[in-house]
Amino acid sequence: MAGETRGATAGWTAGEWRGWRAAAQEALYGEQGFYRRPEGPAGHFRTSVHASPLFAGAVARLLCRVDESLGRPASLGFVDMGAGRGELVTGVLAALPPEVAARARGYAVELADRPADLDHRVEWLAEPPGGVTGLLFANEWLDNVPVEVAEVDPAGVPRLVLVRPDGTERLGEPVTGAEAEWLARWWPLPPEAGTRAEIGLPRDTAWAAAGSTVDRGLAVAVDYAHTAGARPPFGTLTGFRAGRETAPVPDGSCDLTAHVALDACAGPGARLLTQRESLHALGVAGGRPPLSLASTDPAAYVRALAGAGEAAELTATGGLGDFGWLVEPRGIPDPLR
Ligand SMILES: C[S@@+](CC[C@H](N)C(=O)[O-])C[C@H]1O[C@@H](n2cnc3c(N)ncnc32)[C@H](O)[C@@H]1O
């Protein structure tokens, strides 16, 4: 229509207000949504998966530990939940010892289309397969599960934040029902105007559903996280486009992400670790190689130096190392203990 800007869908007009959950759902996953774009997430930001093959190697070792605990089943599942372009599952299958690889079945669970050049062994699904014996691993999935945003008004009442396709916000109705209960339990807001929270309820539900598809084995969610007592006072909703942080505008032009209240997602028997702790437990260390290697085997020295740099990035304080790993064993001992 002349003179009218459009949101991520033909049906969302410039003047229409929506809650952030519906707005982000359309902007990320609608027909013209951000995650439907051909370049995939790697075209806009770097996750641990893209930072270094050491990450897939560590996840492959974790899968081997799960395999041992399961008694080496005839079919060992690896589910890459929110798989992007299937980079992690591809790397994990490639890093497995041949005996384990021969029994492994790799699944990529993703809303976007299957990339044309993906390893034919990887099954591409829109939902997790049921009855998995093995490991389900969700790297930076939950932060992209859309949530409502609440903001405290001048009277001290938490209200839903509404948004238009251009990112303009206003306050809507007071938060009620299950969302109000979630806030009270997990992210109580002080009565100061302008303080904000992201209502993580849909993430708790999404994680419980994904985790329940593992019959025996392990479910792991890795993400930017915060826990009770250390919630960010104004929330963390933000945008990313082409490698840069941007204002969160729900028009399909950028990623929309908010850190995850991983403690609220935790199911029975779950444990919350940092990525630094988890990767150290899986043998990823950032130490420099001995200088003597430089003279005996210069090529190996250079390789080891590059590996040490990548390990340091994956475990860095103030960076990827601070990510949370929510680890939920199902019928096996915790393989990271
Ligand atoms: C930030 S990207 C992470 C990609 C990859 N795991 C990585 O670490 O590089 C999040 C991905 O989750 C996918 N996604 C979001 N919700 C999903 C759902 N309900 N089912 C399957 N995939 C989903 C998105 O399409 C997107 O590709």
295 CA distance to ligand 1 middle (Å): 44
For the chain, percent of residues with pLDDT exceeding 70: 97
Q: Is residue 237 part of a domain?
A: yes
Residue of minimum CA distance from atom 4 in ligand 1: 84
DSSP per-residue letters across 2-62: TT--B-SSTT-BTT--EEHHHHHHHHHHSTT-GGGSTT-GGGT---HHHH-HHHHHHHHHH
pLDDT the model gives residue 13 = 85
pLDDT of 2 over the 60 cut: no
Q: Is residue 11 part of a domain?
A: no
327 CA distance to ligand 1 middle (Å): 19
Is ligand 1 within 6 A of the CB of residue 222? no
- Ligand 1 pocket test target in 110, 113, 220 with most atoms within 8 Å of CB: 110
Structural domain total, the chain: 1
Is ligand 1 within 6 A of the CB of residue 112? yes
Q: Is residue 227 part of a domain?
A: yes
pLDDT the model gives residue 108 = 98
Please give the number of the atom of ligand 1 that sits closest to the Cα of 87.
Answer: 9
Please give the number of the atom of ligand 1 that sits closest to the Cα of 257.
Answer: 1
For the chain, percent of residues with pLDDT exceeding 90: 88
Of 192, 152, 193, 205, the C-alpha closest to 21 is: 205
111 CA distance to ligand 1 middle (Å): 7
Mean pLDDT over each residue of the chain, to the nearest integer: 94
Is 133:75 a contact under the CB 8 Å cutoff? yes
Domain ranges, residue 281: 41-145+202-330
Q: What would the mean pLDDT of 78-83 be, rounded to a whole number?
A: 98
119 CA distance to ligand 1 middle (Å): 18
Q: What would the mean pLDDT of 118-131 be, rounded to a whole number?
A: 96
47 CA distance to ligand 1 middle (Å): 11
pLDDT the model gives residue 43 = 82
Q: Is residue 223 part of a domain?
A: yes
Is ligand 1 within 6 A of the CB of residue 83? yes
pLDDT the model gives residue 39 = 83
Q: Is residue 12 part of a domain?
A: no
pLDDT tens figures, 223-279:
999 999 999 999 999 999 988 999 999 999 999 999 999 999 999 999 999 999 999
Residue of minimum CA distance from atom 12 in ligand 1: 82
Q: Is residue 226 part of a domain?
A: yes
109 CA distance to ligand 1 middle (Å): 8
Is ligand 1 within 6 A of the CB of residue 320? no
Is ligand 1 within 6 A of the CB of residue 323? no
33 CA distance to ligand 1 middle (Å): 13
144 CA distance to ligand 1 middle (Å): 7
Structure letter (DSSP) for residue 143? G
Q: Is residue 180 part of a domain?
A: no
From the CB of residue 121, how many other CB atoms can be counted at a distance below 10 Å? 12
pLDDT-based confidence at 4, cuts 50/70/90? Answer: very low
Is ligand 1 within 6 A of the CB of residue 175? no
pLDDT of 1 over the 80 cut: no
Is ligand 1 within 6 A of the CB of residue 60? no
Q: Where residue 128 sits, what CATH number does that domain have?
A: 3.40.50.12710
Q: Where are the alpha helices (DSSP H) in the chain?
A: 20-29, 48-51, 53-69, 87-95, 98-101, 177-186, 201-211, 262-265, 275-281, 292-296, 298-314
Element of type H or E holding 214: strand 214-223
Q: Is residue 158 part of a domain?
A: no
pLDDT of 6 over the 70 cut: no
Please give the number of the atom of ligand 1 that sits closest to the Cα of 35.
Answer: 25
pLDDT the model gives residue 10 = 56
Please, which contacts does 67-73 make with residues 24 or more away whose CB atoms are closer than 8 Å?
67/100, 67/103, 67/134, 69/332, 69/333, 69/335, 70/133, 70/134, 70/216, 70/217, 70/332, 72/103, 73/103, 73/133, 73/134
Poorest-confidence range of 8-12, 75-79, 106-110, 118-122? 8-12
Return the residue matching tokens 């403690």.
263
Residue of minimum CA distance from atom 8 in ligand 1: 139
Is ligand 1 within 6 A of the CB of residue 20? no
